[in-house]
Structure 1
Amino acid sequence: MDRRTQPPELARTGVPGLDDVLSGGLSPGHMFLLEGSPGTGKTTVALRFLLEGAAQGERGLYITLSETDRELRAGAASHGWTLPEAVEVFELVPPESLLDEAQQQSLLYSSDLELGEATRQIFQAYERLQPVRVVLDSLSEIRLLAQSSLRYRRQILALKHYFARLGATVLLLDDLTSEAFDKTVHSVVHGVIRLEELSPAYGAERRRLRVSKYRGRSFRGGYHDFTIRTGGVHVYPRLIAAEHRTGFDRHRTTSGIGALDALLGGGIEQGSSALILGPAGTGKSIFTLQFMAAAIAGGGRAAMFVFDEELGLLFERAAQLGFDLRAMRDSGALHIEQVDAAELSPGEFTHRVRERVDFAGSKTVVIDSLNGYQAAMPDENALVLHVHELLQYLNRQGATTFLTVAQHGLVGDMKSPVDVTYLADTVILLRYFEALGRVRRAVSVIKKRTGAHEDTIREYRIGRTGLVFGAPIDKFQGVLRGVPTFAGAPGPLLDLLEPD
């Protein structure tokens, strides 16, 4: 391709994840709208945009009609940033030292400033600096000065043509504090990015963004979660599993327990997902620990995300069963973290899982449990969609995923908070049942997409060394209902075996 016909390099925003959503950044020489209510992070994104330009050797101009130079620099400092000489802040409101009696007739506050005078000062500031990147904060002040929709539109068009003629990339900020439903600017600008803040009934606020318009370029549509922390805004692009395909050699992941592997037809295939379903106390987490420990013993890496249990308690409980999670973690083979669903958005959680798989090489992933994960979702439909994309992504990366779901109830009819059995490749069902005056546990595999598996029901026990399995139960009827009946002489049960 002729160099003269190549499209100009995009103006990267420097905001982690946002350039991915924008398919590379902002088209240079155009005007973009960044809108959102106060507190959604517009100023932080705009400062990062100018700092990124300065790092590329481009001058930047921040024109402010609302915040002062001191406030902007203080906001930048809170993220560990220092505005370089290449970034200049221009206050359209005159500094306090100039507001004396001799200057009262020519220097006014923004609420009294004539629109033409404001525009003239903007153009003068630009011509003095000749910046490549410009931020105008905010349009609410321009809208108030214009006083009518027609005059406001003409003013935005004038700004657009002026900056376009000079090749500047402009970011307009709008805090939506006046005439929030006015779409005048939307039809004029080259692209629109909207920031939103949601306030759940419990927990921290949730923030998300959406690109609603970008002329001449494809972009990642839909809503994307983002956070504001020290260091700036971090966007978590919505996961699209179809974009991530890798090749890998499939093999079976085994548990190291012969009876359990036999029940699973030899193990669980790499690059598939297994759902462990059962009421509280049946040992769902222990099943995942068994597979995870076997994978690490075989030289692999694992990542475990715990929603429901405090890590200290989990470490102690696992140690009593023969799983030294601290040693696995300290060796670097295991990444384990406790997830607070009230503080973590679904997009950020997906990002953390991807980091462990993409960059740390974890090929065994445990999510314990989906009940806790559901608490981070706005509704059940969103949970199913998130889980679907996450499982599809992990499968295509060759990772084996184990998920647990705690069902409501103990015996008899069980209810799940959300049905994701159709998403998992393998479903392991755990149950309590009563026999001979004892409460016992039974396990069965009710689904496996890849390969055959036993259709039997096996009793198991959680002993001092972990899981202990018995022979298939073939003399009982109704084990999965919780109250079985004899159908002949009972076979040996686990309490008749030698203690472990």
Structure 2
Amino acid sequence: MGSGGKIVSADDPVKIRKLSTGVPGFDEILGGGLPEYSFNIIAGSPGGGKTTLAHQVMFANATPERPALYFTVLGEPPIKMLRYQQQFSFFDRTKLNTAVRFINLSEVVLEKDLDAVLTAIVKEVEAANPGIVVVDSFRTVVRKATGGTGEADLQAFVQRLALHLTSWQATTFLIGEYTEGEIRDNPVFTVADGLFWLSQQVERNSIVRKLQIMKLRGQASVPGLHTLRITADGIQTFPRTFGLTGRRKRTHEQRRLSSGITELDSMLGGGIPEGDSLLIAGPSGSGKSVFATQFIAEGLRLGESGIVAIFEERPEEYAGRAETLGMDFETPQQNGKLSILYLRPLDLSVDETMREIIDAVERTGAKRLVIDSLAGFELALAPGFREDFRESLYRMIGALTRTGVTIVSTVELVESFTELALSPYSISFLSDDIIRLRYVEIEGQLRKVLMVVKMRGGNHSKDIREYEITSNGLQIGERLKGYRGLITGVPERLTGGSSDDGEETTSTQDSKE
């Protein structure tokens, strides 16, 4: 089929091979890569990254034997396009005019009809035997053509173009600026094997880019909107399902990790179960970050690598605060045992955060991870991502625990003296273990108490114990006795019993969350 084409007959089908796009995360979204020899549309609004996506795929796959042909039509001239595209790290100057060739069709489109355009493209394809063909902007061809061409002629043109390019075993990308309302009954989209939609969302002061696979023949792609970011390396995509496949890494005999606080380890039944997600919740100044710092410091003391993801202060400030507690975080950073990630780019997304943390876990072999704090994390997100914060945390915690790392997250609560809140996000179900810190007023003094609220991995202490923050970190005292309603924050002294008589007089059953 086709003039000089190589396509096989229906009686001799070939297995569809996958083409790696060279775009981080994109192959996963596509379901394992792009079907080779497919006819695809890259569409969306201006500034979404359409041209950059096509260039990145092109430079990743073009060779002198199977070059890439990039047809430009009344858009940016090649010299202007290359001026900007060469700033990306994927750009390979040595491939120009050999593996990557630019051809300007503007004159043909302006002066002639669709048949002439098709003839010009086919002529270049037959001469070069390309592996990749890009037409940018195909929308311009369509607009010029529809001035004197009916819809049937346009559809016939698109079908003939697809047939020729597929018969020459070229993977094709037609780039165009479209609105979502133009998708219905558009002959270009009907013929296409794949339709990749790139968009920008402006919300208050933030801009968020998204990618959606609206159509892909022959394989199951990942549905939904995926975050997209353009960096100095080009486009990076963040699949919604990243990290959620595969089994959770757990050994048959789950070991316990020391928190760095002996008394707390006893309350936890021997320490934090390895691979768990622990949430430590409490009001401002209650010692959440101090606890997290001790957890990381204990791991470093035992030779375990650690990662701290922070959103509210810079790494040098975090390391300086650890030093005031007698903990050296500078040396472990220098020798690669500790990574402090300061995650505050503009328009941050949960998917990007997850990707960066998991990359750091794999790079360092970390066993311990601190996220400090969830409130700072939420504020760092672009407004649109805050709406889905709970769902995104579910995906992130699931992905991280599958790596086998033990997570300690801190969350700040506005203290209430009528209930024992655990999280402002209703995400306590995401955590395997929960430690609650709170203030209580006793005899005119504001004192701090902690309790282990939840442990999925086994039994734990039910004691409510007082603690203090010292120059060496959290110091946990004895169980408070002789009071009723400690978890309300306004306890009452029990009458008829002494808090010093050694009997178990504290009751948490009389207090409700």
Any residues of structure 2 matched to 1:49-448 within 5 Å, and which?
A: 49-55=57-63, 57-65=65-73, 66-80=75-89, 81=91, 82=93, 83-84=95-96, 85-94=98-107, 110=109, 113-147=112-146, 148-176=150-178, 180-182=182-184, 183-203=186-206, 205-238=207-240, 239-248=242-251, 250-340=254-344, 342-375=346-379, 376=381, 378=384, 382-409=388-415, 411-413=417-419, 416-448=423-455
Task: Report the Cα distance in structure 1 between the residues aligned to 2:134 and 2:427, rounded to whole angstroms.
Answer: 46
Question: How big is each residue's C-alpha offset from its partner over 1:104-160, in whole Å with a ceiling of 9 and x where there is no partner?
Answer: xxx6xx456433332222222223322121001122112212324433322211211
Q: Contact 1:35–1:42 at 8 Å: present in 2 too?
A: yes
* 1:20 counterpart letter in structure 2: E
Q: Contact 1:113–1:145 at 8 Å: present in 2 too?
A: no
Structure 1's consecutive aligned runs of 4 or more residues displaced over 6 angstroms after TM superposition are none
Q: Which runs of 5+ in 1 are unaligned?
A: 95-106, 493-500
Task: Report the Cα distance in structure 2 between the residues aligned to 1:407 and 1:120, rounded to whole angstroms.
Answer: 68
Task: Report the Cα distance in structure 1 between the residues aligned to 2:64 and 2:371, rounded to whole angstroms.
Answer: 41
Q: Contact 2:438–2:448 at 8 Å: present in 1 too?
A: yes
Q: Which runs of 5+ in 2 are unaligned?
A: 1-11, 502-513
Q: Contact 1:444–1:456 at 8 Å: present in 2 too?
A: yes
CA spacing shift, 1:472–1:342, aligned 2, 3 Å: farther
Residue 483 of structure 1 aligns to a residue whose secondary structure is coil
Residue 58 of structure 1 aligns to a residue whose secondary structure is coil
CA spacing shift, 1:381–1:448, aligned 2, 3 Å: farther
Question: How big is each residue's C-alpha offset from its partner over 1:418-459, in whole Å with a ceiling of 9 and x where there is no partner?
Answer: 111111010100101111322111100111111111111011
Q: How many correspondences in the alignment?
A: 474
2:456 pairs with 1:449: yes
**TM-score, normalization: structure 1?**
0.89
Q: By how many angstroms is 1:288 displaced?
A: 1.1
Task: Report the Cα distance in structure 1 between the residues aligned to 2:345 and 2:102, rounded to whole angstroms.
Answer: 39
Task: Report the Cα distance in structure 2 between the residues aligned to 1:417 and 1:469, rounded to whole angstroms.
Answer: 26
Task: Report the Cα distance in structure 2 between the residues aligned to 1:145 and 1:135, rounded to whole angstroms.
Answer: 18
* 2:401 counterpart letter in structure 1: N
Task: Report the Cα distance in structure 1 between the residues aligned to 2:389 and 2:400, rounded to whole angstroms.
Answer: 16
Task: Report the Cα distance in structure 2 between the residues aligned to 1:158 and 1:314, rounded to whole angstroms.
Answer: 62
Task: Report the Cα distance in structure 2 between the residues aligned to 1:210 and 1:244, rounded to whole angstroms.
Answer: 27
The two structures, once aligned, show a CA RMSD in angstroms of: 2.4
Q: Which residue number corresponds to residue 44 of structure 1?
A: 52
Residue 366 of structure 1 aligns to a residue whose secondary structure is strand
CA spacing shift, 1:177–1:8, aligned 2, 3 Å: closer
Q: Decide which moves more: 273-282 or 43-52.
A: 43-52
